[in-house]
Amino acid sequence: MDLDAVADELYALAPGDFSAARDKRVKAARAAGDRDLAEQIRRLRRPTLAAWASNLLVREQPDETERLLQLGEALRQAHQNLDGAQLRKLSAQQHQLTFTLARQAGQLTAQAGQRISDDVRQEVQDTLHAALADPEAAEHVAEGRLTKPLSAPAGFPTSFPQPPQAPAPRRATRPPDEVADLNAARTRRREQQERLERARQHVADAQRELHDREGELAAVEEEQRRAEEEQHRAEQRVAELSPELQDAERDQQRAQDAARKAHDRTRDADQAAREARSRAKDTAAYARKLAEQTQHQA
């Protein structure tokens, strides 16, 4: 037993099971005489829900985790080089990947019997952003032994500016009618932009709703799977016990028949005993009477 093996085992557990399993490992190390290892194990901290969900994601989705780490390297390089075009290209991938992985983490925790809230999912997504921004954070995430969620360092952008535009040439003074038309056009564009922002908000709300419903669906499907397994086991048990039940019913019927016959024999024997008792009593009285008559004649 070594610390890495124990840590991998413990951080694969749900937070509710962590402390008891850790204490058990501490006792085992002490019993083996390795007090240093026992102390190292004792210092392992129980993960928060967000940290556990991130660890579970790393363990269950290694390919996606590797994709995240590679994207982080590319983003950090583009940020260092001030490569705006590359930054804008990778920005969309960043948001899509972290959102998708955070949603997958919620599904995995639901399948493991522990649903997480939107706030916890956001902490998972923040942790993934931190892995994109900081190589040291990426290493911690890849280990799968987080005890708390991470945050991206200040100064690392989660969105990137558009390329600078050339200044517009100065225009001659416009007539009042043309100015009015321009103002109306600007108003329409502003209203369109407001409608677009509202539509984007509706999309975000719909995505959150979809996320919640998918999490509920995963939990219900897991509950259904367990119920069907339990039903299958019960049906197998019934099939296994059916022959025994039939034998038991036949034994019961035979025992009932035997008991009924024994009851009938007991009743007949009791009647015969009463009759014999009566005859014995009458015979004894008759014998006494004859004895008395014989004495008088003598």
Kindly state the average pLDDT of the residues 170-178. 56
* Alpha-carbon separation of residue 55 from 28, 104, 147, 181, 256 (angstroms): 25, 12, 9, 58, 64
pLDDT reported for residue 284: 85
The arithmetic mean of pLDDT across residues 241-248, rounded, is 80
Tokens representing residue 121 in the block: 């999912």
Structural element, H or E, at residue 174: none
Q: Give the span between the Cα atoms of 98 and 67, in whole angstroms.
A: 11
DSSP secondary structure letter of residue 43:
T
Dihedral sign of CA atoms 167, 168, 169, 171 in order: negative
Question: Which tens digit of pLDDT belongs to each residue from 254-270?
Answer: 888 888 888 888 888 88
Given a contact cutoff of 8 angstroms between Cβ atoms, the answer to whether 132 and 59 are in contact is no
Contacts of 135 (CB under 8 A, 6+ apart): 72, 73, 76
Q: Cα separation of 145 and 8, whole Å? A: 7
Give, in order, the Cα–Cα distances in Å from 105 to each of 121, 220, 239. 8, 16, 40
pLDDT band at residue 171 under the 50/70/90 scheme: very low
pLDDT given at position 206: 66
Model confidence pLDDT, tens digit, residues 24-82? 999 999 999 999 999 999 999 999 999 999 999 999 999 988 998 888 888 777 767 76
- Whether residue 6 contacts residue 41, with contact meaning beta carbons closer than 8 Å, is answered with yes
Q: In this predicted structure, which of 6-15, 123-132, 203-212 has the lowest mean pLDDT?
A: 203-212
Query: How far, in Å, CA of 280 to CA of 233, rounded?
Result: 68
Predicted confidence band of residue 226 (pLDDT cuts 50, 70, 90): confident
**What pLDDT shows up at residue 161?**
39
In this model, does residue 159 exceed pLDDT 50? no
pLDDT at 186: 78
Burial class (CB in 10 A: 0-12, 13-18, 19+), 79: middle
